[in-house]
């Protein structure tokens, strides 16, 4: 699928296969992949996080505003901590107040977006001459970060007790509690990771333009969910495909980039992403439906 789409664009646009363009594709794929990897964990645990776009923007603003005062490294840590904290709050709303993740994170989507705008006073924060911060988005850094995160999360899911507990909680939370899994703690961990991942992609985005902007990464939550679903992780929880999410991210980035090169308007790109998402979900529904008819539990 990916090769096919890539091939079509390569034929249609001579600029598609240039090294510069491919790096662009990789960078934008990495930004979505990093959030998408966090989202994979959330979906595997039977949850969602709709607040990732806002979290990315907020974390970007926090970091950019702090670079001058505390230096790049500490500012980056502060940004990631901001993301993790937002995630933790999401988790607490879900586990302690019992609000479904969909609603909880939808609320946080607007709250955090608002917080980012309040924090910046609605203005852009510019960073002049901070070439050190630019490293985060230049060259292969985003790709390496995405790959590193993918490897870490894959390891967590395959080889750690925490990973196993995530899958168990997502598959059947009631059973998980009965075998002694502390499902609330598991979800707090998952939401914090999602928040930190969202923050990381927010930092990359803000480093690209050396600007803190409260309106950054609008709609990122939908692309993130799209790449997870395209990658074959079912929305019902209990399963996760890290490699699938990576592939999904590259596919979405290739399509957006190709359409850009062909001068297709951004509006049509939005339509394409939506159609892709619907197609992926319909395909998944078809698969599970077929499995069900096989077992003949429903008509």
Partner 1 sequence: MDEIQRVPILAVQNLSRRFPGVLALDNVSFDILAGEVHALVGENGAGKSTLIGILAGVYQPSAGQVLLDQKPAFFPDPLSSQRAGISVIFQEFSLLPHLSVAENVFISREPRHGLTVDWATMNRRTQEILSTLNVEIDPATLVSELAVGQQQLVEIARALSAKTRMIVMDEPTAALNEREAVRLLEIVRSLAAGGVSVLYVSHRLEEVFSIADRITVLRDGRHIVTERRSAITEQRVVSAMVGRELVHSTRPSRTAGAIVLETKDVTVDGGLVRKVSFSLRRGEVLGLAGLMGSGCSELMEGLYGLREITEGSFLIEGRPVRIVNPRSAILTGVGLVPEDRKRQSVFPDLSVAHNLTIGNLPRWFWAFPGLLDLAGERRKTLDYKRQLNIRFTRPEQRISGLSGGNQQKVILARALAGNCRLLLLAEPTRGVDVGAKAEIYALIDRLVQKGIAVILQTSELPELIRLADRCIVFVAGEPRGELCGAEITQEAVMSLATGLSHRVTVDSASLRSVQ
What residue ranges bind partner 1 (CB under 8 A)?
Answer: 158-162, 164, 167-168, 170-172, 174-182, 236-239, 293-299
Helix (H, G, I), strand (E, B) or coil at 26: helix
Closest CB 80 distance from partner 1, rounded Å: 21
For partner 1, which is the closer residue by CB, 38 or 189? Answer: 189
Neighbours of 265 (CB within 10 A): 10
Nearest distance in Å: CB 180, partner 1: 4
Q: Which is nearer to partner 1, 175 or 218 (CB)?
A: 175
φ, ψ for residue 125 (rounded to 5)? -105, 120
Nearer to partner 1, 85 or 172 (CB): 172
Angle between helices 220-230 and 242-261 (to 10 degrees): 120
| 200/240 with CB nearer partner 1 | 240
CA dihedral 113, 115, 121, 123 (to 10 degrees): -30
Please tell me the distance from the alpha carbon of residue 127 to that of residue 67, in angstroms, as a whole number. Answer: 8
Using the minimum distance from each CB to partner 1, give the nearer residue, 69 or 297: 297
Q: How far is the CB of 183 from partner 1 (least distance, A)?
A: 11
CB 99 to partner 1: min, Å: 22
Q: How far is the CB of 284 from partner 1 (least distance, A)?
A: 13
Give the C-alpha separation, 182 to 288, whole Å: 29
* SS3 track for 106-156: HHHHHHHHHHHHHHHCCCCEECCCCHHHHHHHCCCHHHHHHHHHHHHHHHH
Which residue is listed with tokens 């940004």? 79
Q: How far is the CB of 208 from partner 1 (least distance, A)?
A: 35
Pick between residue 31 and residue 193 the one whose CB is nearest to partner 1.
Answer: 193
Q: Where are the beta strands (DSSP E) in 29-80?
A: none
């Amino acid at each position: 699928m990916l090769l096919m789409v890539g091939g079509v664009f390569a034929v249609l646009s001579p600029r598609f296969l240039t090294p510069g363009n491919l790096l662009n594709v990789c960078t934008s794929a990495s930004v979505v992949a990093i959030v998408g990897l966090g989202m994979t964990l959330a979906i595997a645990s039977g949850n969602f996080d709709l607040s990732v776009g806002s979290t990315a923007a907020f974390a970007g603003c926090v970091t950019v505003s702090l670079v001058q005062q505390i230096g790049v490294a500490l500012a980056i840590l502060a940004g990631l901590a901001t993301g993790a904290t937002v995630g933790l709050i999401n988790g607490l709303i879900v586990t302690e107040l019992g609000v479904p993740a969909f609603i909880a994170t939808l609320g946080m989507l607007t709250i955090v977006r608002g917080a980012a705008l309040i924090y910046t006073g609605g203005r852009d924060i510019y960073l002049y001459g901070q070439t050190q911060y630019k490293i985060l988005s230049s060259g292969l850094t985003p790709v390496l970060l995405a790959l590193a995160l993918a490897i870490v999360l894959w390891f967590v899911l395959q080889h750690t007790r925490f990973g196993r507990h995530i899958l168990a909680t997502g598959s059947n939370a009631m059973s998980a509690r009965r075998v002694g899994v502390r499902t609330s703690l598991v979800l707090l961990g998952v939401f914090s990771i999602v928040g930190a991942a969202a923050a990381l992609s927010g930092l990359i985005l803000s480093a690209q333009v050396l600007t803190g902007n409260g309106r950054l990464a609008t709609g990122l939550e939908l692309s993130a969910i799209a790449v997870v679903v395209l990658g074959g992780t079912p929305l019902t929880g209990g399963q996760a495909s890290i490699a699938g999410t990576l592939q999904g991210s590259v596919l979405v980035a290739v399509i957006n980039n190709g359409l850009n090169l062909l001068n297709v308007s951004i509006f049509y790109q939005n339509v394409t992403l939506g159609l892709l998402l619907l197609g992926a979900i319909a395909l998944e529904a078809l698969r599970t439906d077929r499995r069900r008819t096989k077992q003949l539990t429903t008509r």
